[in-house]
Structure 1
Amino acid sequence: MTRLPGVWTTPPPAVGWMARSVHHLVQSRFGHPEGLAHPAVRLLDPAAGPLNFVLAAWREAIRHRADKAALLRDHLLPDSQGWEILEDSCARGHRALRRFLRGFGALPAPGGERVLRQRDSLAGPPEPAAIAGALPVLLGNPPWIGQPPPASPWLARLLGTWRVGEGRPLTGRNGKCLQDTWARFLRLAQWMVEQQGEGIVAFALNHNGLDAPTLRGMRSSLLATFEEIYLLDLHGNQRKRERAPDGSRDENLFPGLAQGAALMVLVKKPGLARRVAHADLQGTRLHKLAVLRSGSLATTAWSEIRPRSPQLVFRPAADLATEQAFRRGTPLDEIFPVHTTGLITGQDAVVTATDRRLLEERLRRIGRREWLPHLTAWLPRPFDLRYLVFTPEAVTRPRPELARHLRQPGNVALLVPRQHKGELGAFVTAALPGHKAVSAYDITSAFPLYLDTAGERLANLSPAFRDRLAGLYGESPEPGAILAYSYGVLHAPGYRNRFRQLLSRELARIPFPLQVQPFNDLAGCGSALLAAHLRLPAARATGGCRLSGDLGLPVTQITYDPGEHGIRLHPEGLRLDGVSPDLWSYRIGDYAVLTSWLIARSGRPLRAEERRELSDLTTAVQRSLDLLPALERAYRNAAA
């Protein structure tokens, strides 16, 4: 359940798991048998909401105590704080506090209501008295707001320390994950523990914290600060379409939340042996709730992990041999050094259309005839060529440098995201690519094959890389052959399956064989696949899927009939026949190619040009499927 964007109510079993875990750690790591009931403990939730975490911690502290009312009055009330910025949440928290205390016969003493204060935790440093001389125990589930207001100057300075990883400034332009609200609260909690020199933090964590490249500085900092780190991965990432180990659907613990979640527990206690431990909890939501309801950190089967540079991922690493094989490959940006992200349109309903004539008619209708000379081909999805008004006024981020390179006749761009939440996506285009051209969830990087440099056509290949290939093969292959070979690798099932985990968080690396013949064989397969994906005349063939029925009917449904190998497009009989199950399910990255193309043209009849395009598309996809066995054999020979 959610009340505000990014504010997710934590299921009580997860709250209880965290409360029992910190209670156990105070006992076992800090030598206080009373656990949270020990007078040295200062309990704090900096994003308290209705006080669920504080009250759960109190229940754990008094569970086995006979003097419950006295413990509440003398220690837990004065030594616990919840900070909450929302007035409504504060009011609900105060009511919950009163109900809790009445239940144990401990009406609050004067000032007891100060347990929950309306305060912006991120506005500045907390009062020193909040944790002075105490063992700070922070727990909660801070809000997950991806684009909050700018951080305060004080907090911005703290977050700046996360822009350094292992003592080195981090490269990369996109640091927006550092601005997520949950990350700000985690940095605040880390700072408070650092001030005391010891303490515990237990927070619900956005999945990005486990492996996002832009948060490797955060992970580096946490590894330096805390002796023990525990990560219970709750999975449930709907964007990755995660599955449980038995193949069943993996459900999110938070209904309606697409992003996966984890529970993180951090322990700072000088003298403890350093440890990073990980565990998985997958399956249905009911299964996860049942495990959390009865468990804690002490009952969880942990596996030791060793986060490795450069990403310091908080997940079990690929086996060492697999990672070493991956690292022997050459990163795409060291092969094709000039690259940028795809363009962002911003007002698709006005400046884009699936048909050039539709776009021209719209521009005349809205009085923007001056845009008519600026129409260009645009690729927002794989195989889905559309048209776009390409001017700085019409396009939010036009990427003019990429457009300049792609204007050259015969030039193409390789499209690959830098990391993948779903399946690895790779495509090629001669048109301007959109920023999510091969993945609905990841930004597409475009690597042009040739560059327009002061009117001169130059290959976009690193000189050092070409020299290395020349040393292997006697001479450097042509640029087109290098692109074709790389494309073959990216589409080889063996490559994708072996390096799936590494590709989910890093830019693809291309392995090159020591002999030229395996290179040429795979480049030949990759060249045929490029021709199919570019729908070049040489790759076209007859026998594509056929439309049947009344072609004047609009596309109103997209329902696959596996028995008849067809797609129903209208209940009165419009169909696309000859669609095999493999053709129907063919995907590039996160996009089901046929479904995506048809959805973009639904609600109206397909024009004659679109019917021909649909036939070409199905032919190209079938050609791609036919090439896969030879492509895989060539890849395995090259990899050997």
Structure 2
Amino acid sequence: NRADGFASDSVTVLDPAAGTLTFLSEAAKLAVEEFVSRYGEGGKENFIKEHILKNFYAFELMMAPYTVGHLKMSFLLEELGYRLQDDDRFKLYLTNTLEMEELAQTELPGMASLSEESHLAGKVKKEQPVLVILGNPPYSGVSANRGKWIDDLLKKGYTRSDGYKDDGYYQIDRKPLGERNPKWLQDDYVKFVRFAQWKIDQAGEGVLGFITNHGYLDNPTFRGMRQSLLNSFNEIYILDLHGNSLKKEKCPDGSKDENVFDIQQGVAIALFIKKKGEKKDCKVYHSEIWGLREEKKYDWLLKNDIKTTDWRKLSPKSEFYLLVHRDESFLRSYEKYLKITEAFPLNSVGIVTSRDSFVIDSDKEALKRRIRMFRDEKMPDELVKQTFNLKDKSNWKLKVVREKVRKDEHWEDSITKILYRPFDIQWVFYHDNLIERPRKEVMRHMMEENLGLVSVRQVAEGIFNHAFVTDNIIESRVTLSNKGIAFLFPLYLYSDTDKKETGNPNKKRSLGSTMMLFEPKAEYTIKKPNLSPQLVERLTCQYKKTPSPEEIFYYIYAVLYSNIYRTKYAEFLKIDFPKIPFTKDYKLFSKVAEYGKRLVDLHLLKSVELDSPVAKFQGDGDERVEKLRYDGGEKCVYVNRSRYFEGITKEVWEYQIGGYQVCSKWLKDRKGRRLFLDDIKHYCKIVTSLQKTMEIQKVIDNIYPEAEKETIEFENK
């Protein structure tokens, strides 16, 4: 709002991640153009010396772009009519923006000392008010910038110039964020945004303009960041350029969407405006561009500006404070449903082995042979490393681990089943010393007779189909989503007085051999339901009887398989765990639960409905999986030239669970291997299960709308 724009003598500009000064060069050119258009060429040289050289700042960490940046600015100023004098310098400093400590005295041949450079940069960081901060900060999920100052700025907040206490990015609505793994808040671009926000808050007014990774716009981990930005600024303009190949983004019409850069991560341009003295609610405006890079995005960006953009006004609100447009027509009712993390209080992401090819195998005996070789004292460590492609890490040394596994006389008890991918049960050597993240606090309950719901927190692409069931532990990528890994929600929790008498910690007891009482306040000697007291009490009060844990589980499972539910709440299922509508009608609850049980039995491949498979294995010759080919006319999938499964409809072939095309994925994971009799039977059952699943989904959809008419309201934490 300055009359002279960038040419105003009160405007100070900073690029905190300057590179070769691409952004600041354009700002300098614009400032000179604005000055000349108003006041003529006569004072241009003096304007550059008194304004550009004094009020334009830049920070760069790397020596090469720093050097090029100085040369680039020197050439630019000469083009604009100003030759740098001996006592002139452009204020591009060699420094780490995210560190406040200044360097000790160190001389570089032919240059001013690094300590002097660091001192001058430090004065700008700490003392110089900056009204405009712009640039394209680096994106790095694994940040090397771990300094205390920026970490405190992110986590502890600060007091603004107006006296308001900012809570930082790890708080939401004055409470801890509660994220199990908030690592994305450590991304470098987040830290640069935080630095820029802090500088403008200290000045009391200003504009921040960055092009960055667009993940912070809607990812739940960033909700504290979004709230903080909303509290700091008066206006926010978001232009989402999309282009996220990691999310497999496509244009709304299904055509190709490209990134404006040669990167996989989608990006967005954001303008954050802070007006002096104003404390009104932040106004948020959003727009987006889809399509090809050259023909659509570059062309549009060249022809448009903030005034010609078709902005949509947003109203971000608790708990997510989203900076993207969402269809919120069903939000009011959806917010009153029960989140699955509230229904099943104890839950966890799946295990991470960091060495799947060594500790996981579809053949139990093959896995045993590997572990025996690993334990064999006669095999040198180097040979074991080469044979099994095992590498030492900072927290994992092969020599030490081998010794520990050798000492374990009951090592075979650590071999157990694992749900590796949908319908893909394998064997894992579930040993503390060979599993990177064993998630024992949750997975130990799946060592017993149990049911577990598998789902995700977010869905990056496509419609939600990320619900499955297991009676074993799970691997973290049992579902596919680049926005997070699979979560497991066990139905029952077992006491620690588990199997000490048997000496076999991985041998499952049958349900018949356990004691279980199901009353919300009862004492459990062996196991208890992993269901929230709020849920059980509300259902008991409404239904005048207490549903069994299994009934509740089946009901939830059926809802998650309703196509109506998945479509209606698609926008909300993209950003957080599913919320479940519980009908007030017990008869309807029971009916839905019945279909949920059928689905569970089908997906565990335990249903009698699988006794008459719809698919059959045909042809002659080798059963080895080579090149897959689906023939829609024949309703066959060929595993090689002569062998094929018949009876597979196009709908079944394309059916997805957890982001995977099930029929294709299961076979692809066995490429190069021979299909044995059990494999053939298993695949025929998978096909039949999916066929039956689609039939049941249609029935559920016939009664689901009735279940939503009158629902029990819950308070989600």
TM-score by length of 2: 0.81
Q: Which residue of 2 aligns with 1:105?
A: 81
Q: Which residue of 1 aligns with 2:418?
A: 378
Give the distance between the partners of 2:189 and 2:302, measured in 1 at CA: 24
Residue of structure 2 aligned with 1:580, choices 643, 649, 656: 649
2:533 counterpart letter in structure 1: P
Q: Which residue of 1 aligns with 2:148?
A: 153
Residue of structure 1 aligned with 2:429, choices 389, 394, 397: 389
Q: Which residue of 2 aligns with 1:614?
A: 683
Q: Do 2:564 and 2:704's aligned partners in 1 also have CA atoms closer than 8 Å?
A: yes
Residue of structure 2 aligned with 1:448, choices 474, 479, 490: 490
Give the distance between the partners of 1:71 and 1:561, measured in 2 at CA: 72
Please state whether the residue corresponding to 2:151 is helix, strand or coil.
helix
Give the distance between the partners of 1:634 and 1:358, measured in 2 at CA: 48
Please state whether the residue corresponding to 1:387 is helix, strand or coil.
strand
Assess, with a 3 A threshold, how the Cα gap between structure 1 residues 564 and 192 changes in structure 2: closer, same or farther.
same
1:72 counterpart letter in structure 2: I
Moved more, 327-336 or 416-425: 416-425
Alignment of 1:537-556 (within 5 A): 537-556=607-626
What per-residue deviation string (whole Å, max 9, x for no partner) do you get for residues 152-194 of structure 1?
1111110012212233332222211210000000110011111
Give the distance between the partners of 1:592 and 1:113, measured in 2 at CA: 60
Q: Which residue of 2 aligns with 1:421?
A: 460
Q: Do 1:531 and 1:539's aligned partners in 2 also have CA atoms closer than 8 Å?
A: no
1:480 counterpart letter in structure 2: E
Give the distance between the partners of 2:705 and 2:212, measured in 1 at CA: 39
TM-score by length of 1: 0.90
Give the distance between the partners of 2:658 and 2:72, measured in 1 at CA: 47
Q: Do 2:613 and 2:685's aligned partners in 1 also have CA atoms closer than 8 Å?
A: no
Gaps of 5+ in 2: 102-120, 156-167, 377-405, 499-525, 710-717
Please state whether the residue corresponding to 2:30 is helix, strand or coil.
helix
Q: Which residue of 2 aligns with 1:401?
A: 441
Give the distance between the partners of 2:647 and 2:283, measured in 1 at CA: 57
* CA-atom RMSD in angstroms: 2.1
Q: Do 2:455 and 2:468's aligned partners in 1 also have CA atoms closer than 8 Å?
A: yes
Pair 1:38 & 2:45 matched? no
Q: Which residue of 2 aligns with 1:193?
A: 200
Please state whether the residue corresponding to 2:143 is helix, strand or coil.
coil
Q: Which residue of 2 aligns with 1:468?
A: 538
1:303 counterpart letter in structure 2: R
Question: How far 1:376 moved relative to its partner?
Answer: 0.8
Q: Which residue of 2 aligns with 1:564?
A: 634
Q: Which residue of 1 aligns with 2:169?
A: 162
Q: Which residue of 1 aligns with 2:560?
A: 490
Moved more, 428-437 or 273-282: 273-282
What per-residue deviation string (whole Å, max 9, x for no partner) do you get for residues 547-571 of structure 1?
334452532322323333223333x
Question: How far 1:459 moved relative to its partner?
Answer: 1.3
Q: Do 1:41 and 1:134's aligned partners in 2 also have CA atoms closer than 8 Å?
A: no
Q: Which residue of 2 aligns with 1:439?
A: 480
What per-residue deviation string (whole Å, max 9, x for no partner) do you get for residues 17-44 of structure 1?
xxxxxxxxxxxxx3x2221111211111
* Identity of matched residues, %: 32
Q: Do 1:568 and 1:576's aligned partners in 2 also have CA atoms closer than 8 Å?
A: yes
1:230 counterpart letter in structure 2: Y
Assess, with a 3 A threshold, how the Cα gap between structure 1 residues 133 and 81 changes in structure 2: closer, same or farther.
closer
Pair 1:318 & 2:327 matched? yes
Give the distance between the partners of 2:261 and 2:91, measured in 1 at CA: 27
Please state whether the residue corresponding to 2:672 is helix, strand or coil.
coil
What per-residue deviation string (whole Å, max 9, x for no partner) do you get for residues 235-267 of structure 1?
22333333323232332222331x322111111
Q: Which residue of 2 aligns with 1:357?
A: 365
Give the distance between the partners of 2:66 and 2:638, measured in 1 at CA: 54
Moved more, 133-142 or 368-377: 368-377
Q: Do 2:204 and 2:274's aligned partners in 1 also have CA atoms closer than 8 Å?
A: yes
Gaps of 5+ in 1: 1-29
Residue of structure 1 aligned with 2:354, choices 346, 350, 356: 346
Q: Do 2:460 and 2:481's aligned partners in 1 also have CA atoms closer than 8 Å?
A: no
Residue of structure 1 aligned with 2:222, choices 206, 215, 222: 215
Assess, with a 3 A threshold, how the Cα gap between structure 1 residues 468 and 352 changes in structure 2: closer, same or farther.
same
Question: How far 1:113 moved relative to its partner?
Answer: 4.7
Assess, with a 3 A threshold, how the Cα gap between structure 1 residues 553 and 184 changes in structure 2: closer, same or farther.
same
Question: How far 1:403 moved relative to its partner?
Answer: 3.0
Assess, with a 3 A threshold, how the Cα gap between structure 1 residues 269 and 372 changes in structure 2: closer, same or farther.
same
2:583 counterpart letter in structure 1: P
Alignment of 1:250-261 (within 5 A): 250-257=257-264, 259-261=265-267
1:109 counterpart letter in structure 2: Q
1:462 counterpart letter in structure 2: S
Give the distance between the partners of 1:278 and 1:573, measured in 2 at CA: 55
Give the distance between the partners of 1:569 and 1:112, measured in 2 at CA: 72
Pair 1:237 & 2:244 matched? yes
Assess, with a 3 A threshold, how the Cα gap between structure 1 residues 114 and 99 changes in structure 2: closer, same or farther.
closer
Q: Which residue of 2 aligns with 1:18?
A: none
2:587 counterpart letter in structure 1: Q
Q: Do 1:78 and 1:112's aligned partners in 2 also have CA atoms closer than 8 Å?
A: no
Give the distance between the partners of 2:624 and 2:71, measured in 1 at CA: 57
What per-residue deviation string (whole Å, max 9, x for no partner) do you get for residues 120-145 of structure 1?
11111753446856552111111110
Please state whether the residue corresponding to 2:211 is helix, strand or coil.
strand
Q: Do 2:140 and 2:189's aligned partners in 1 also have CA atoms closer than 8 Å?
A: yes
1:292 counterpart letter in structure 2: L
Pair 1:173 & 2:168 matched? no
Please state whether the residue corresponding to 1:264 is helix, strand or coil.
strand
Assess, with a 3 A threshold, how the Cα gap between structure 1 residues 479 and 107 changes in structure 2: closer, same or farther.
same
Give the distance between the partners of 2:87 and 2:13, measured in 1 at CA: 17
Give the distance between the partners of 2:192 and 2:206, measured in 1 at CA: 16
Residue of structure 1 aligned with 2:61, choices 85, 96, 99: 85
Please state whether the residue corresponding to 2:54 is helix, strand or coil.
coil
Q: Do 1:551 and 1:606's aligned partners in 2 also have CA atoms closer than 8 Å?
A: no
Aligned length: 606
Give the distance between the partners of 1:609 and 1:365, measured in 2 at CA: 27
